[in-house]
Copies of this chain bind each other. A is one copy, B any other.
Amino acid sequence: MDMPSYTVTERNKVRRVYLRGSYDKEAVFAVIDATPISHVGYVIDGQPYVTPTLVWRQGERLFWHGSSASRMLRTVKTGIPVCVTATLFDGWVMARSGFHHSANYRSAMAYGTAHAVQSAAEKDAALKVMMDGLFPGRWEEIRPSTAQELKATTVVTMEIEQASAKVRTGPPVDDDEDYALPVWAGVIPAATAYGAPVDDPKLTPGIGFPGKLSSLPK
C-alpha cells in the first residue's frame, strides 16, 4: 500500500466525537480484520438495503460471497456505490447521567464499488483466503470445490476507495458536578465468546475436533 491514510472528503469524514475517528489504513484494517460479519449497504431504486455477510480483506480489497442467485450480489456486482461497515461491540459505558451513558465499540466504514471475481480459479483462490483467515488448516482437510459449486458461487471484490474508523474505549466521562453522585459508574465489557464445538449428529464416530481449530476463530 502506498499511503498510510485515506483522503478525507465529505463521504468518509468522521463528523461526531472527532477525537475517536481515524483515517489511518492500519486502524481501518484492524477493525475489518477483527470482524468476520460486516454489513453491506447498497441502493435499489432509491431504497437502501443493509445485508449482513462474511467480509474478508486482502491488501486494499474487501471480498464477500454467496449464492450467484443472491439479489445483494447481483446488485452490487454491477458497480454501484457500496458501503461496508464492520462493527465490534466492546461493552456498555455506565455513567451517572443518561446523557453520558455510551457504548465502547470499534467500527469502520469503507466505500467503493464492487465487481465480480470472474474465473473459477480466482474465485477458489479468494475463498481459500477467506477460509485460511478464519480457520487455518481447514482448507486442506475439506473436500475441494467443484466446478459446479464455483459456478453457483459469486465472489465480489471492492477496492477500498475511502474509509474511516471510529473507536470508543475507556470509562464514562461525566459532568464534573456528577462525580459526587452516589451512583455506580463504570464499564460492563462485552465480547464475542465461542462455546465448545458441537459435533454434527451425523459425524462419523472416531473423528475428533481438529487441534488446529482449537485456537479459533478470532
Q: Which residues of A contact B (CB under 8 A)?
A: 11, 15-17, 36-37, 39-43, 46-52, 54, 66-67, 69-71, 81-85, 87, 89, 91-92, 94-99, 101, 103, 105, 107, 109, 111, 127, 131, 134-135, 138-139, 141-146, 149, 152-153, 171-172, 174, 178-204, 207-210, 213, 216-217
Contacts and interface: CB of A to CB of B under 8 A. Distances in A.
A131 to B, nearest CB: 6
18 contacts: A49-B109, A50-B109, A96-B143, A97-B142, A98-B142, A98-B144, A99-B153, A142-B183, A179-B202, A184-B199, A184-B207, A184-B209, A185-B199, A185-B203, A186-B198, A186-B199, A191-B192, A193-B193
Contacts of A198: 171, 186-189
A97 B149 contact: yes
B186 A172 contact: no
B142 A96 contact: yes
Contacts of A49: 41, 83, 109
Contacts of A203: 184-186
B43 A87 contact: no
Please state the number of chain copies in the assembly.
2
Given A15-B70, A69-B15, A98 B139 contact: yes
